[in-house]
Structure 1
Amino acid sequence: MTGVPFPFPARLPADRIAIGDIALAACVAGAGRPIVLIHGLGWDRNLWLPQVERLSARYKVIAGDTRGHGDSDKPAGPYSIDLFASDWAALLDRLDVRGACVVGFSQGGMAAQILAARRPDLISALVLVSTSGRFPDAGRENMEKRLAAQAAEGPEASARVAAESIFSEAWRAGHPAELERFVAWRAGQDQQALAHAMRATYGFDATPFHAGIGVPTLVLAGSADGLTPAAGMRDIAAAIPGAAYAEVPGAGHMIPIERPDAFDRALDGFLDTHYPAAG
């Protein structure tokens, strides 16, 4: 399969769970060993709809909306990756989750790295998808380009900049209708909260923590990802002891949307080996 129609808007049910002075929306489905799915910048729990539906037959699956996203609260900024990680830790504490397999995509993968370093009790396996160990200057330049377009031309222009950086050229060419659906959906989001989330990436650096991550880890990259290039993903895998690295040929940043079959195969293979449902 070379891609699926843009899946938004989708509607995974969710409860609003209070953590401190805000509430996060979270879908909890199934029973068994916990799998936690953390979406990326500008997305929400619905990114994981196929995985929630499929994995909840064997696992307890938790897919939530990070602060500023989806149906979670959107307080005034600034936001940071450390703040996102603290929010997720508080959410998992409220849900009494320990020893989970945490799957972090893009910005969610940044938060997952901090979680693994600071709350090892929460994590017994880790999957990092299309993410960064240290947010590169090129990534900051892309965020600034989005913000400049948002200020000068409006949300739709900013969404188009985002689309060019997260979807591969081949996917965009082959899915024009889905691309327009993405632009309309992203342009309809809370733009102030989205801007806070963009700036949360600035200065992020988890590389000092990588050597101390002691759980089985899969690092999954797209060979055509221009936002978080495969070379940086290989660096993460090399720095985390025993981490496995896999690359999806031709995939851009949005591996779960562009190459869903390849994504599921990689995830299932890792789970079967390192985090089987039977425990």
Structure 2
Amino acid sequence: MALPPLILIPGLLNDAELWRDQLAALADIADCRVADITQGESLEALALSVLAQAPPHFALAGFSLGGYVAIEIARIAGQRLDRLALLDTSIEPDGPDRAAAREARDKAARAPGTFHGFGDRLLRSFLGKSHLQDETIVNRIRSMTQRLGAEVFLRQNGILRKDGAAVLSGLTCPLLILCGEDDQLTPLAEHRAMARLAPHARLVAVPDSGHMTPIENPDAVNAALRQWLRADA
């Protein structure tokens, strides 16, 4: 019997390496596929590219920027979603502060010299304090970001983020909202607000984790995703 398809969408400067632990842990209950969101220049373009490669019905999990893409997929083709998981993400539209922060990161990426992906300062905002000195985690993230490079970073960083509140509140499929307890980029308070928009959602706060929960605490993320995949519609 064929396993149900699960599409995993990575975030900014992430590829399949982000989901390495989940691909291994969930292989017995889902046909896991990692989407490529490195090419499009808008949420709609990215959503359509994922949908073009997707089966008629599928489970969908989006991390960070991938969560915005997942919401856009739900906006365009919500009837095709069997269930949705949103990890360390947001449904807030771009505002002056977010736009200014992304512009500053653009400037740094365009600076002369070699692009090194997430530098020390940016890593401090991505990781929980207990993982900042974990060389295995740090090197795994840096290798991924350097592999994708400045061109992908600038393209993804420039994508306009949309308001996803109406889409989220209209969803009726099994819904998981997950966030690291120490996430500085998309704080737990934002995820609690998201869960209030969809009362049937299950909210999971991942301990000992910042923004990069699939890498920082894979066991907790795997357990939450496994329970979500088994939830009744």
1:261 pairs with one of 215, 219, 224: 219
Aligned residues: 231
Go from structure 1 to structure 2 and tell me whether the alpha carbon gap of 1:54 and 1:181 turns closer, same or farther (over 3 Å shift).
Answer: closer
The 8 Å contact of residues 64 and 87 in structure 2, kept in 1 or not, is answered as yes
Q: Secondary structure at the match of 1:204?
A: coil
Shift of 1:153: 5.3
Letter in 1 for 2:92: R
Check if 1:100 corresponds to 2:61. Answer: no
- Match for residue 34 of structure 2? 63
Query: When the two structures are superposed, what TM-score results if normalisation uses the length of structure 2?
Result: 0.88
Aligned residues: CA RMSD: 2.3
Go from structure 1 to structure 2 and tell me whether the alpha carbon gap of 1:177 and 1:117 turns closer, same or farther (over 3 Å shift).
Answer: closer
Shift of 1:63: 1.5
Q: Secondary structure at the match of 1:218?
A: strand
Query: Deviation per CA, 1:169-190, whole angstroms, max 9, x where unpaired?
Result: 22113x1454245335423433
Letter in 2 for 1:32: L
- Match for residue 5 of structure 2? 34
- Aligned equivalents of 1:160 and 1:53: distance in 2? 29
Q: Secondary structure at the match of 2:105?
A: helix
Shift of 1:44: 0.9
The 8 Å contact of residues 147 and 158 in structure 1, kept in 2 or not, is answered as no
- Match for residue 127 of structure 2? 167
Go from structure 1 to structure 2 and tell me whether the alpha carbon gap of 1:261 and 1:145 turns closer, same or farther (over 3 Å shift).
Answer: same
Letter in 2 for 1:254: M
- Match for residue 53 of structure 2? 91
Query: When the two structures are superposed, what TM-score results if normalisation uses the length of structure 1?
Result: 0.74
Q: Secondary structure at the match of 2:211?
A: coil
- Match for residue 48 of structure 1? 19
Shift of 1:157: 7.1
Question: Unaligned 5+ residue runs, structure 2?
Answer: none
Bigger relative contact order, structure 1 or 2 (CA pairs below 8 A, ≥6 apart): 2
Query: Deviation per CA, 1:133-183, whole angstroms, max 9, x where unpaired?
Result: 11464544442332222223542275444322211222113x145424533
The 8 Å contact of residues 213 and 241 in structure 1, kept in 2 or not, is answered as no
Matches for 1:6-155 after TM superposition, within 5 Å: 31-66=2-37, 68=38, 74=39, 79-92=41-54, 97-135=55-93, 137=95, 138-152=97-111, 154=113, 155=115
- Match for residue 175 of structure 2? 217
